Amino acid sequence: MDVDNNFPAAKRIITEIQNIINKDPKLKEFDLIIQPENQNKSPVIYRDHCLGLESWCVRHVYKYVYQRLITIRKQLKRQASNETITLLTSALLVNPEVTTFWNMRRELIIDGCLKPNDELKFSAIVLTFKPKCAEIFNYRRWIFSSISKSLSSTDIVLNELSVGLTAASRYPSNYNAWNHCFWFVQKSLENENFSLIAQQWEMSKVWCREHVSDHSCMQYRQRLLKCLVADKRCLQHLECCASKSLLKFFNSDERPKLMRPSEDYFSETIGVTLDELYFNEDLIVTYQSHESLWNHRRFLCYLLVNIYNTDCIKEVLMNNEKRICTNLLKGNELYVKKHVLWFQTALCIPIKLP
Amino acid sequence: MAMETLTRDVPSSMHHHNNSSVSNMKHSYVQLSKTCLDEDAQINKKLPKELLLRIFSYLDVVSLCRCAQVSRSWNVLALDGSNWQKIDLFDFQTDVEGPVIENISHRCGGFLRQISLRGCQSVGDGSLKTLAQCCNYIEYINLNGCKRITDSTSQSLSQYCKKLLSLDIGSCSMVTDLSLKAISDGCPNLTSVNISWCDGITENGVEALAHGCPKLKSFISKGCTRMTTRAISCLAQHCVKLELINLHGCNNIEDEAVIKLANNCNSLKYICFANCSLLTDNCLVALSEQCYQLNTLEVAGCSQFTDIGFLALSKTCHLLEKMDLEECVFITDSTLFHLAMGCPRLEYLSLSHCELITDEGIRHLSTSACASEHLAVLELDNCPLITDASLDHLINCHNLQRIMLYDCQLITRNGIKRLRTHSPNINVHAYFAPVTPPPSTGNSRQHYCRCCAIL
């Protein structure tokens, strides 16, 4: 009651927000609008399917919803009411990092007061404001796993992946977003849907090219690559120029020495990794001094040596890395030296720099 | 716990005193358990059953169910039908399922007068049929939000509960005209009905109701978009005792319906026509000519109403206490002037979105009879012409408790401050953030790191 009297407008503001969210299924964005000056005007701004809240009121509104929600939570009897939903909506828009509030929404879903589809929309809007918030991603995954929505429908999965991608673009090093994507890739692999991983492999390549200093996406690619290498069926849908990379990597005279009975599988897995290695080289040459690229490269080399641990591969890899390090020494001295040192210590491959 | 007791068919038999007679049991324990036997318990010795029953009759559902678990004789007494004349299961809406209702019906039988199952969504036709069959004397039944019920429930009610006075089937979306027909056939004494948000109900159902239940006093049909002028006219013609009518959102209603209502139902006290946007001043004029008892008028969103209508109304309806004129966009200060003159009992007045209202209108209002004694709530949000001068006038309203000023851009913090100094208990609603309490501003220095503080 005390908060109510202190700032009675809070109730009106949160109701307004809830109404907008209920009425507009196409709502796409929420953000705070910096407006320290306070007039007698509604701080809720809604235009072109975007929702804004003026910053002066955030503190007071949050104080109100927080206190109300905690009171409601402390009541032994859980009663789902529209008031709770309205309070939760505003609380989570402003501060999505409170797991308790998300849990309250989970309970409301279980009780049938909230529809899972609407919740996916709502949490997507919250993501536009805090794209890195792990609680939101958890909540979305929970909706899928517990409401037992069939993940087999590719539309749903593709939508989730695009949500993850949008979040990743909005905030650098957004590992949470890529984790979210990978979770769905894993789920689709469990359902024996192998086309998705190939599609993600291509998509993230484009993304990496546009965000060379963001290691989060490369880490996502590393995880994808591990899956690709581990299961032959994943490679089916991959359009790759593996043979070209193979030829480029191994000189023709060395090739026969490498051949083994399981030659097809070998060349494909190695081929994908090599593809990535050459792609990485391109980026390193084009964009100088990005540590993330070198980190990624080290992973690729490590993987290569581990898939097929022969002296031959080590030798070819050594020559290849020597060539690159020599070419790039100017301008990347720090990273090249680190790279050489790592080769020496981790893989026991000596690279001699001129 | 309470629900478990209700679901149980037979009182649980008490086995423990049989066990106490085991041979090697100590003497004292046998004595102790003996005193716990129903017949020997002090309270049962001192109080005759009639008195116990009387005491139980004052208890609520939860306490009764607790008492029912004390002993076998208390179980019989607590669950006696006479204690269960009025039942409200709203607090247990998620727990209430078919068997609960069936047990209640068997226990209560003819005793049951009032039952509210508001929001009990899992209750279906079958259990309500049992209820109607067992409890023929139900007078008041509230089934608001029991979404699973269909016309079959209304048919059972009409068949077995002839004494029904009040029926609430709001938000029961599967209900159709057939329900109202059944009710009109079987429950001629009905005085109050609520069919809000029942999309399936059309004018045919309401006409049947009007014919069959002439004693109707209260008719609520919010959000029934298929309600027509003909239906309301028919209602007006047959149910002349109507005192309360709520047609919120029945946007097909035209003047003719209201004029019929005004002509026939002179004892109307409460009227809500919110969002009936086809209505014009003719309605208000007709009401002012016949319905002098009117005390509540809610006409939010009736945007065709003008000063002329309210002028007529304020000349005759002197008992008006509550008026909601939100979004009656054509009304001006003149309406306020007349209301100030003609409605001395006005307690609640909403003028939200009435954009032509100015300080002058508020001045009239604040100098009137209603202002100084009655006016408690005044809503002025989105009245862009209102300035601080209005607030200064309102200082005269001694009873004012709440005033809404959202989006009145000419209102300033200082104006509100002045009003508050004169009447500190008033609750002013505006978008102004509360003044930050001193501690946060006072301590802000300390948040700087040490080097900044030194500088």
Backbone angles phi, psi at B429, to 5 degrees: -100, 115
Q: What is the pLDDT of residues B189-210, one digit of tens each?
A: 999 999 999 989 999 999 999 9
| pLDDT bucket at B22, cuts 50 / 70 / 90 | very low
- At A353, is the secondary structure helix, strand, or coil? coil
Backbone angles phi, psi at B432, to 5 degrees: -70, 130
Out of B407, B408, B427, whose CB is closest to A8? B427
Q: Rounded to a whole number, what is the distance in Å from the CA of A233 to chain B's nearest CA?
A: 49
| CB proximity B54 to A under 8 Å | no
A35 vs B contacts (CB less than 8 Å):
none
Size of chain B, expressed as the number of residues it contains:
455
B407 vs A contacts (CB less than 8 Å):
40-42
The per-residue pLDDT of chain A, averaged, comes to 85
Instruction: Report the residue of B431, B432, B436, B440 to disrupt the A interface, i.e. the one with the largest count of A CBs within 10 Å.
Output: B431
Average pLDDT for residues B38-59, to the nearest whole number? Answer: 80
Q: Considering Cα of B233, then B239, then B245, then B248, what sign does the dihedral take?
A: negative
Ordered by where they begin, the domains of chain B are: 44-82 (1.20.1280), 286-433 (3.80.10.10)
Q: Yes or no: say if B92 and B122 are a contact pair by the CB < 8 Å rule.
A: no
Average pLDDT for residues A160-186, to the nearest whole number? Answer: 92
Q: What is the pLDDT of residues B400-421, one digit of tens each?
A: 999 999 999 899 989 999 998 8
Q: Where are the domains of chain A?
A: 1-125
Average pLDDT for residues B275-284, to the nearest whole number? Answer: 93
Interface contact B431-A111, CB threshold 8 A: no
Distance between alpha carbon A142 and the CA centroid of its chain, in Å? Answer: 17
B429 vs A contacts (CB less than 8 Å):
8-9, 12
Interface contact A40-B434, CB threshold 8 A: no
**Structure-token pair, residue B179:** 């329900």
Out of A9, A38, A56, whose CB is closest to B429? A9
B437 vs A contacts (CB less than 8 Å):
none
Q: What is the pLDDT of residues A44-59, one digit of tens each?
A: 999 999 999 999 989 9
- Identity (one letter) of the amino acid at B211? H
Q: Output the pLDDT for position A191.
A: 82
A59 vs B contacts (CB less than 8 Å):
433
Q: Output the pLDDT for position B12.
A: 39
| CB proximity A57 to B under 8 Å | yes
Interface contact A9-B405, CB threshold 8 A: no
**Structure-token pair, residue A323:** 């060539």
Q: Between B232 and B49, name the one with better pLDDT.
A: B232
Q: Output the pLDDT for position B435.
A: 72
| CB proximity B6 to A under 8 Å | no
Residue A94 clears pLDDT 60, i.e. is over it: yes
| CB proximity B430 to A under 8 Å | yes
Using a 10 angstrom Cβ sphere, with 0-12 exposed, 13-18 middle and 19 or more buried, the burial of residue B170 is buried
A43 vs B contacts (CB less than 8 Å):
431
Instruction: Report the residue of A5, A40, A61, A77 to disrupt the B interface, i.e. the one with the largest count of B CBs within 10 Å.
Output: A40
Q: Yes or no: say if B373 and B340 are a contact pair by the CB < 8 Å rule.
A: no
Average pLDDT for residues B419-425, to the nearest whole number? Answer: 88
Nearest-CA neighbor of B174 among B153, B141, B200?
A: B200
Instruction: Show the CA angle centred on residue A44, arms to residues A42 and A46, nearest 5°.
Output: 125
Backbone angles phi, psi at B136, to 5 degrees: -80, -10
Residue B347 CB: number of other CB atoms within 10 A?
20
B430 vs A contacts (CB less than 8 Å):
9, 40
Q: Output the pLDDT for position B352.
A: 94
Q: Output the pLDDT for position B139.
A: 94
| CB proximity A10 to B under 8 Å | no
- B95, B96, B98, B100: CA torsion to nearest 10: 100
Interface contact A60-B434, CB threshold 8 A: yes
Interface contact A9-B432, CB threshold 8 A: yes
**Helix residue spans in chain A (DSSP H):** 2-6, 9-23, 55-74, 82-94, 99-110, 116-129, 134-146, 154-170, 175-190, 195-210, 215-230, 232-235, 242-249, 255-258, 263-286, 291-307, 311-328, 333-342
Size of chain A, expressed as the number of residues it contains:
354
CA–CA distance, B207 with B231 (Å, rounded to integer) = 6
Which range of B49-58, B62-71, B298-307 scores highest in mean pLDDT? It is B298-307
A6 vs B contacts (CB less than 8 Å):
434
Residue B42 clears pLDDT 90, i.e. is over it: no
Residues 75-134 of B with CB under 8 A from A: 91, 94
Size of interface A-B (CB pairs under 8 A): 45
| pLDDT bucket at B447, cuts 50 / 70 / 90 | low
| CB proximity B406 to A under 8 Å | yes
Nearest-CA neighbor of B232 among B201, B205, B253?
A: B253
- At A315, is the secondary structure helix, strand, or coil? helix
Percent of chain A with pLDDT strictly greater than 70: 87
Q: How far is CA A326 from CA A192, A323, B101, in A?
A: 44, 5, 86
Q: Output the pLDDT for position A199.
A: 87
| CB proximity A7 to B under 8 Å | yes
| CB proximity A82 to B under 8 Å | no
The per-residue pLDDT of chain B, averaged, comes to 85
Average pLDDT for residues A274-295, to the nearest whole number? Answer: 88
> What one-character-per-residue DSSP string does B250-316 give?
-TT--HHHHHHHHHH-TT--EEE-TT-TT--HHHHHHHHHH-TT--EEE-TT-TT--HHHHHHHHHH
| pLDDT bucket at B260, cuts 50 / 70 / 90 | very high
Model confidence, pTM:
0.79
Q: Output the pLDDT for position B158.
A: 94
Q: Considering Cα of B418, then B426, then B307, then B314, what sign does the dihedral take?
A: negative
Out of B91, B427, B431, whose CB is closest to A40? B431
| pLDDT bucket at A148, cuts 50 / 70 / 90 | low
Q: Output the pLDDT for position B81.
A: 83
Q: Rounded to a whole number, what is the distance in Å from the CA of B382 to chain A's nearest CA?
A: 9
Interface contact B430-A40, CB threshold 8 A: yes
Q: Output the pLDDT for position B237.
A: 93
| CB proximity B407 to A under 8 Å | yes
Q: What is the pLDDT of residues B435-446, one digit of tens each?
A: 765 554 444 444
